[in-house]
Structure 1
Amino acid sequence: MRAQFLIPVGVIAIALGLSSVYTVDEREKALVLQFGEVKTVRTEPGLGLKIPLIQQVVKYDDRILSLMTQPLEVTPLDDRRLVVDAFARWRITNAVKFREAVSTGGETFAKSRLDGILNNAIREVMGSVPSTAVLSDDRTAMMNQIRDIARREAAALGVDVIDVRLTRTDLPDQNLAATYARMRAEREREAADERARGGEAAQRVRAAADRTVIELTSEARKQAEIIRGEADAARNAIYAEAYGKDPSFFAFTRSLQFYAESLKPGTSSLVTEPSSLYFDYDRFVKSLGPVEAVPTGESPAPTAGQ
């Protein structure tokens, strides 16, 4: 009978002995609670003892944890709404205060509290700067300011906010279409201005080219008239000199020119008798009368005919 009682007692003793021992990992912090009150804080890794059934051990992560906030709509100083996402790094620094703040909610409840703290800090900081500062490439000072505000608020939770980074800053979806339309209109207006300035410049170039063409053409015609006049004067001088030397030869050439002009293809038909003056050279030349001076610009031609 005694052996039958000793086995259960031994099993209970072993169970109580095992339940009185707990381990703390190097990545953890542990609290020994007795009826909800903190009795021992363990921050060093190793084995620990507690009173079975009366005391319990609560462990928290001692590593640096991350928190991604939900998209938040903020209104900067110039009333231009923006959607912002933030990424925070935090760590539990005071396990006792953390337990008092979150109770049995643990890290999940702490992340919810931190999310609200970060949102308030983001609204406070971004509401005091224009949207150009939020959308700029250098936002280090602004993110440090958000971190410092969140750190002060999170100290009551027993946690330390190590860093805060803005991951996205963008316009709300309902404003994107209007913004893109406004940008497109501005670009189209700039393009129209450029086309108008180009057309004006092209018109000036064409006008200058047309004026140059007119001036060059006028000058060329002037020079041509001068050259033609000089040539006609030289020709008349040659004709006059030839007439002075041999009037009969000059009359002969004049008659040949008359024949050539009158017999050109396409002129009127000539119907006459063989004994006509037209075929009698001597009488024809005498009928032309005395030779007159040749006017400028005209070919020598008979002064009379039948």
Structure 2
Amino acid sequence: MKRTQILLFVLVAVVLGVLQAVYIVDERQKALRLWFGEVQAEISDPGLYFKIPFLHEIIKYDDRILPLDTRKLEVTPADGRRLEVDAFARWRIADAKQFRRAVGASSIAGAAPRLERILNAELREVLGKVNSGVVLSADRVVLMNQIRDQARSQALSLGVDIVDVRIKSADLPQQNLEATFERMRAERQRLAADEIARGNEAAQRLRATADRTVVETVSEARKEAQIIRGEADARRNAILADALGRDAEFFAFLRSLEAYEKSLTGGNSSLVITPDSEFFDYLKSDTVR
């Protein structure tokens, strides 16, 4: 019984030893084999590998393209107009040995802050040389490629390859947006006031022109009316003069009748005239009663 237990124990120990001596690197990984903390070999090809148990340490890294999302960064372009830039990068471990020497045991979690500092520095440098209009336009692809290339050269010391850099958004800070909106509103109000003033001025000119036209038209009409009235009076006087010349007695009779009509109308008309007045010449009868 003891012998069986010993054999079983030995068998388990051998199995555990074999398992401890075997490790697998798949196609999504690359690995480093360490000998007492020193890098002995880099394994990039997937497969089954062996190590000395408890003496070799195997460190595995993700060989895929990894994301790096940065926090919003405030940059100041060449025209002094501050912008809040939200960018991200894609990167992968290109040299596992250099990556291990650079970040140590902190691995990917320790590399991310250092990569973010590199990316932010290049964002400030590249975007600080152009105007904000270029950053806000569709032409910023050239800027993103420039940031990627400069960040890639800086990240080589970490054993990292920067695959891509993209700017997700570039906006004015909130306080700047409010100030910009206020300036835009003030500008629109100024333009509206200018348009209203020009409209009022045009209205005044039209009103003055209309008033002048009215005065000129009324004056011309009055002038023509006076001329026509004067011509009519002249013709009337001419007709009266002609009639007087033909029959003075009839003319005197007619004028007397007009005088009677004018003086004897009205309910309260009163005349104080002597009976032998010439006014009553055509009212007197040839027969004395």
Contact 2:91–2:164 (8 Å) recurs in 1: yes
Who is 1:47 aligned against? 48
**TM-score normalised by L of structure 1:** 0.79
The CA deviation at 1:4 is 0.9
Q: What amino acid does structure 2 have at the position aligned with 1:56?
A: E
Who is 1:103 aligned against? 104
Greater CA deviation, 58-67 or 1-10? 58-67
Contact 1:34–1:54 (8 Å) recurs in 2: yes
Q: Structure 2 stretches of 5 or more lacking a match?
A: 285-289
Q: What amino acid does structure 2 have at the position aligned with 1:203?
A: Q
The CA deviation at 1:51 is 2.6
> Equivalent residues in 2 for 1:13-162 (5 A)?
13-162=14-163
Greater CA deviation, 52-61 or 84-93? 52-61
Change in Cα spacing, 1:77 to 1:253, as seen in structure 2 (3 Å) is: same
How many equivalent pairs are there?
A: 283
The CA deviation at 1:156 is 1.2
Alpha-carbon distance in 1 for matches of 2:276, 2:164 = 128
Q: What is the DSSP-based 3-state SS (H/G/I as helix, E as strand, rest coil) of the residue aligned with 2:64?
A: coil
Q: What amino acid does structure 1 have at the position aligned with 2:7?
A: L
Who is 1:282 aligned against? 282
1:181-231 CA deviation, whole Å, 9 max, x = no partner?
333333333333332222222222222222222222222222222222222
Alpha-carbon distance in 2 for matches of 1:190, 1:197 = 10
The CA deviation at 1:277 is 6.3
Change in Cα spacing, 1:283 to 1:146, as seen in structure 2 (3 Å) is: same
Q: What is the DSSP-based 3-state SS (H/G/I as helix, E as strand, rest coil) of the residue aligned with 2:282?
A: helix
**TM-score normalised by L of structure 2:** 0.83
Percent identity of the aligned residues?
57
Who is 2:193 aligned against? 192
1:13-72 CA deviation, whole Å, 9 max, x = no partner?
222222333333332222233322333333333333333222233222222222121122
The CA deviation at 1:6 is 0.9
Alpha-carbon distance in 2 for matches of 1:249, 1:87 = 121
- Over aligned residues, Cα RMSD in angstroms? 2.9
1:150-206 CA deviation, whole Å, 9 max, x = no partner?
111011112211222222323334444444333333333333333222222222222
Contact 2:65–2:90 (8 Å) recurs in 1: yes
Change in Cα spacing, 1:120 to 1:245, as seen in structure 2 (3 Å) is: same
Change in Cα spacing, 1:2 to 1:279, as seen in structure 2 (3 Å) is: same
Contact 1:23–1:45 (8 Å) recurs in 2: yes
Alpha-carbon distance in 2 for matches of 1:248, 1:21 = 160
The CA deviation at 1:113 is 0.8
The CA deviation at 1:131 is 3.1
Q: What amino acid does structure 1 have at the position aligned with 2:140?
A: R
Greater CA deviation, 117-126 or 95-104? 95-104
Change in Cα spacing, 1:279 to 1:210, as seen in structure 2 (3 Å) is: closer
Q: What amino acid does structure 2 have at the position aligned with 1:34?
A: W
Say yes or no: does 1:235 pair with 2:267. Answer: no
Who is 1:222 aligned against? 223
Q: What amino acid does structure 2 have at the position aligned with 1:282?
A: Y
Change in Cα spacing, 1:239 to 1:103, as seen in structure 2 (3 Å) is: same
Q: Structure 1 stretches of 5 or more lacking a match?
A: 285-306
Who is 1:270 aligned against? 270
1:69-126 CA deviation, whole Å, 9 max, x = no partner?
1122222223333322212122222222222212111212111111000111111112
Greater CA deviation, 122-131 or 173-182? 173-182
Change in Cα spacing, 1:254 to 1:149, as seen in structure 2 (3 Å) is: same
The CA deviation at 1:247 is 4.3
Q: What is the DSSP-based 3-state SS (H/G/I as helix, E as strand, rest coil) of the residue aligned with 1:39?
A: strand
Q: What is the DSSP-based 3-state SS (H/G/I as helix, E as strand, rest coil) of the residue aligned with 1:257?
A: helix
Alpha-carbon distance in 1 for matches of 2:36, 2:68 = 32
Contact 1:277–1:283 (8 Å) recurs in 2: no
Q: What is the DSSP-based 3-state SS (H/G/I as helix, E as strand, rest coil) of the residue aligned with 2:139?
A: coil
Change in Cα spacing, 1:118 to 1:272, as seen in structure 2 (3 Å) is: same
